[in-house]
Amino acid sequence: MPVDCAAATDGFLEADLFGRAATVDAGSDRETRGLLELADGGTVFLDNIGAIGLALQARLLDFLENGRIQRVGADAPHTTVDVRLISSADPDLFARTAAMTFSEDLYYRLNVVHLVLPTVSAGPEPPQAISH
């Protein structure tokens, strides 16, 4: 399940990921399941992970450490799920940890396998000459 972290505010993203509890304050008597719960046993791809704020970063770190889902507006965790997270970020994410705008703990938790992909060119590259 792909999620573009830069496409929504942290509040919407938090509800999309963790779900929402049925609360009188929110005016809804229905609870909703989040993507992490729906993806139980599968994988969620968080694109542009560096776009999320520190509070949501802390919530994701807690999820990664214990697998518990606590829906937005709930008083206690709802369930435990087994979800693999894959994330992408721009190259300056490590620098953002030094600037304390991205959680160092979350960075190292996500950075288990680090892949650097080359940028995609606008068109096909010309053939390279082979010299002997």
pLDDT digits (tens, 9 = 90+) for 71-128: 998 888 888 999 999 999 887 888 889 999 999 999 999 988 777 777 776 666 666 6
Separation in Å, CA 37 to CA 32, 92, 112: 10, 30, 22
With contact defined as beta carbons under 8 Å apart, do 79 and 69 qualify? yes
Whole-angstrom Cα distance, residue 87 to residue 125? 28
Whole-angstrom Cα distance, residue 84 to residue 75? 25
What CATH number has the domain bearing residue 96?
3.40.50.300
Residue 51 lies in a domain: yes
Residue 88 lies in a domain: yes
Residue 21 lies in a domain: yes
Residue 115 lies in a domain: no
Residue 71 lies in a domain: yes
pLDDT at 103: 95
Residue 62 lies in a domain: yes
Residue 40 lies in a domain: yes
Number of domains in the chain: 1
Structural domain of 56: 2-110
CA atoms within 13 A on the CB side of 67: 10
pTM for this predicted structure? 0.79
**CA quadruple 88, 93, 94, 99: dihedral, nearest 10:** -160
21-75: pLDDT as tens digits:
887 565 567 889 999 999 999 999 999 999 999 999 999 999 999 999 999 988 8
> Which residue in the block uniquely carries the two structure tokens 């399940």?
1
